[in-house]
Amino acid sequence: MHVPDGFLDAPTSVAAGAIAVAGLALCLRRARAELDERAAPLAGLVAAFVFAAQMLNFPVVAGTSGHLLGGALAAIVVGPWTGAVCVAVVLLVQSLLFADGGLTALGVNIVDMSLVTVLVGYLLFRGLALLLPRSPASVVGASFVAAAVSVPVASLAFVGFYAVGGTTDVPLGTVVPAVLGVHVLIGIGEGLITALVVGSVLTVRPDLVHGAHSLLPAVRLEPAAVT
Amino acid sequence: MRPAAVSSRLYVERDSLVHRLPAQCKLLAVFGFVLAVVSTPREQFWAFGVYAGLLAAVALAATVPAPTIARRALVETPFIAFAALLPFMVPGEQVRLLGVGLSQPGLLGAWNILAKATLGVVAAVLLAATTRPEALVAGLARLRLPSLVVQILSLMVRYLDVVVAEQARMRIARESRGFVARDVRQLGVLTRSAAALFVRSYERGERVHLAMLSRGYAGAMPAPHSPRPEAPQWLISMTVPAAAGAVAVLAWAVS
């Protein structure tokens, strides 16, 4: 759910915008290193994929459905820097073209859903991947935890902004459990979908899962025997 | 059934003054307008009436039909639901309405979110309805967005419909084989579809990159053609945010 205009006061929105710009500038510089000059076409197509994936509704229980947010998934499959840039571009398009998420709230939305989600998701994923045995099952398990935790943590980042510059007077004691409760549930769904998608990509094109590169056998080049 | 073209559904084809304004002027105008709206004190109800009037004037000048705006504004529905809960969640002085106790600060908070979010959404809808997506990207480039972001953005906008159409074909393929997503047990099928969509998108990205290389791409795209806006165009674009800014200042002065 994207924060609309008017939810946070103007100074907080501007400050969040500054954080988002600084964070994205760093991500952009590193994404260039991650993808070299392929950055633009690949990141553009991955962003289009994230956008399309968010339109895919997954049934939860009779009648209700959820959709993928894709922050952790993007970080795991294309790397954290490119992933953060892709999600930020998706948020920009949603805000400008689809009026989904306020223009003044774009900074807050980018910090929460791109920077924090990707940072938390990727750090957890790498940490778990180091601890667990090297196997595809570990990658899938680590993806689940990373995505499941990244969503409630991102919602806490939003609560942080709300505490600083929220325009409504709902006491924090009411906001935190409500927001956290909802997002723990959303997070479980996100984790499940992310893990299953990563698992499927892993079986078809394991080389496309950035976070599983350490699993692949190193390619050894040997001179062909000349007969 | 959802038509395949996502981005072209947003643009309302007209030949109006608002449509002809350069994208970068309209982008800055919308941003200035929304910033003024957000910083207006919520007790100044009249100010929001003036803002709505400004947007109505723009919609009229652009001849964008009201039902189109209303339909597209539905994206904010989840927040309307949230705002409706506020009068019950915020502690404070109670007012009785139809026998139900509602908190006064809660009502004000709900009004604040509803008014500002709706004005923001309608402003953004008007921007997208009067500006083609490619023009918006070119406008952002003119506003000095880093060139790599502009490239990613323009490629995303260009291939959005392709990827969404690919997803629609996959859905038709699933459904023509009798697939119905009822509950969590069907998650596996849907996530495999999503994974296939990712692989196809990524591979398309690789092909696009090779195609770009073979046409001489070396890390930068040729600058999109957009003429420098003339002074009258800036003047016309800035009337709305300037009026909104004046209203915001006035609202602060009298509050």
Express each pLDDT in B120-137 by its tens digit: 999 999 999 999 888 899
pLDDT band at B2 (very low <50, low <70, confident <90, very high): very low
What Cα–Cα distance (Å) separates residue B97 from each residue in A226, B34, B93, B94?
Answer: 92, 32, 13, 10
B-chain residues near A60 (CB < 8 A): 183-184
The answer, yes or no, to whether ipTM is higher than 0.95 is: no
Nearest CA distance, A3 vs chain B (angstrom): 8
Report domain extents, chain A: 10-212
- Is A44 within 8 Å of B205 when comparing Cβ atoms? yes
B135's tokens: 């023009």
d(CA A12, CA B193): 40
Closest to A77 (Cα-Cα) out of A205, A216, A219, A187: A205
What Cα–Cα distance (Å) separates residue B177 from each residue in A65, A113, B88, B170, B172?
Answer: 22, 36, 48, 11, 9
| pLDDT of amino acid B74 | 83
* Digit-coded pLDDT (tens) for A34-83: 777 666 888 899 999 999 988 877 776 655 667 788 899 999 988 899 99
- Is A28 within 8 Å of B146 when comparing Cβ atoms? yes
Q: ∠ CA(A73), CA(B137), CA(B229), 5° rounding? A: 160
Per the DSSP assignment, residues forming a β-bridge with B97 are B100
Facing residue for A44 by CB, picked from B7, B155, B199: B155
User: Which residue on chain A is closest to B204 by alpha carbon?
Assistant: A45
Q: Which of A97, A155, A186, A201 is the mutation pick for testing B, counting most B CBs within 10 A?
A: A97
CATH 3.40.718.10 fits A10-212, yes or no: no
B152's tokens: 């990613």
